Every structure is written in structure tokens, then in C-alpha cells.
Chains A and B, each alone.
Chain A
Amino acid sequence: GESVGLHLPTLSVQEGDNSIINCAYSNSASDYFIWYKQESGKGPQFIIDIRSNMDKRQGQRVTVLLNKTVKHLSLQIAATQPGDSAVYFCAEGEGAQKLVFGQGTRLTINP
């Protein structure tokens, strides 16, 4: 069945370094991908999205890369800050009608 998974459940990085969070998906029909950040006690917060007709999209300090050949999605966070500590979820879907979320990666920032 459809599944979205994350290569690493936890990631620790030094403050100021770049972070890369990876995600694999299995539904070839998925044409919409999105990253969310969830801080403790809060709802998921939209970070960035990308459609299947693109392979890269940049936001403020974040970049999402999509490799449809190997069904891989990554989120790059530049110059990681303490406020970036959270659980990051990738999600995929056909449109945004029914997004399927991964289990999440916990990002920890070391001072």
C-alpha cells in the first residue's frame, strides 16, 4: 500500500550547521509533497511544498528537493537555529486531498 517513510527517526546537528532530513515515498502517482514542522504541544506548521513538475524549491532558509526517479524527498535547513528543534514530517499525495504523512524525524540542535 501507500507509505511514506523517513530514513532517520532522529537527527542532531550543531547550531549553525545545515540540516538535511530525508524521506522516501512509494506512491508513483503522488504529485504533491509537503514538509511540516511540529513543535511540542502545537499543531503541524507548513514549511514548504513542491509539485511533481519541479525538482527543487527554495524558501527562507529551507530547500526541498524531489527525486522522482528514486522516490525521494529531502528538506534542507540552512544555518540551523535552536528554534528549528522540532519533529519534521514529510507528506505526499495526489493533490492535497488526502495527504499521507511519514512518521516524523526529530531534529535536535546542539549549542
Chain B
Amino acid sequence: DSGVTQTPKHLITATGQRVTLRCSPRSGDLSVYWYQQSLDQGLQFLIHYYNGEERAKGNILERFSAQQFPDLHSELNLSSLELGDSALYFCASSVNGADGYTFGSGTRLTVV
């Protein structure tokens, strides 16, 4: 157990729907990162939050949004889902955003 908790582990939903993925960082970590991993794209950085504030944005679609709450957990919202959104979504956390981070076990999203 890495200490980073992601729920749910698996999610199957239909095209056009909206889902929310949840991440609880390791105790004491202020930074949360979201990554998407698909077969043809590898690990793609989506977004980084530090202590509730957005710090960096990657190739995150406008249909996707995220936030980090006062208790430091984070949610990634995916809307108007398309088949191509099927992927593993990983959350990672770190203490200060300046060092390597710890990944959770991911949420496998399947859009049908």
C-alpha cells in the first residue's frame, strides 16, 4: 500500500456520461497530481494541485476538471465521456511538489 488511495478501482460507464474519480494523498502530502495512462499514450500529465491551488496543467481536455479540497483530497471530473477516454487514471502525491511522488493504484475507466 503506497498510502495514496484512489476510488473506485474500476468504473464502467456509457458514452456521454460524467464520472468523478477520487484521490486521497498520503498523510502529510500537500501536492496531488493526476495522470492518464492509455496504451498508445503512456503516462500523460493532466494537472497538479498544491494545498488546494492549481499549480500546473498538462494536456487536460476541457471536458475534464479537477479540484483539491481543504482536507487535501482531490477529485477528477470527466464529462461527456468518449470511447477514447477509456484508460487508467492515476493520482500521485508528494510533500512539497519538488520531489518524486508516490502513485496510487489507479482507477480503470472503461467507456462503452
Enumerate chain A interface residues (CB-CB to B < 8 A).
Answer: 34, 36, 41-46, 49, 89, 91, 95-104
Contacts and interface: CB of A to CB of B under 8 A. Distances in A.
Contacts of B55: 97
A42 B45 CA distance: 18
Majority-rule SS of A interface residues: loop
Contacts of A97: 48, 55-56, 97-98
A49 B99 contact: yes
Q: Which 8 A-B pairs have the closest CB atoms?
A: A43-B103, A101-B43, A98-B56, A49-B100, A103-B42, A44-B103, A43-B105, A34-B100
Contacts of A34: 100
Contact of A96 (B35, B98, B104, B105): B98
Interface residues of B, number: 25
12 contacts: A36-B103, A42-B106, A43-B2, A43-B104, A44-B43, A45-B103, A46-B100, A96-B101, A97-B48, A98-B58, A100-B45, A102-B42
B49 to A, nearest CB: 11
A9 to B, nearest CB: 11
Given A49-B100, A96-B94, 9 more contacts: A45-B103, A49-B99, A89-B43, A96-B101, A97-B55, A97-B56, A97-B97, A98-B48, A103-B42
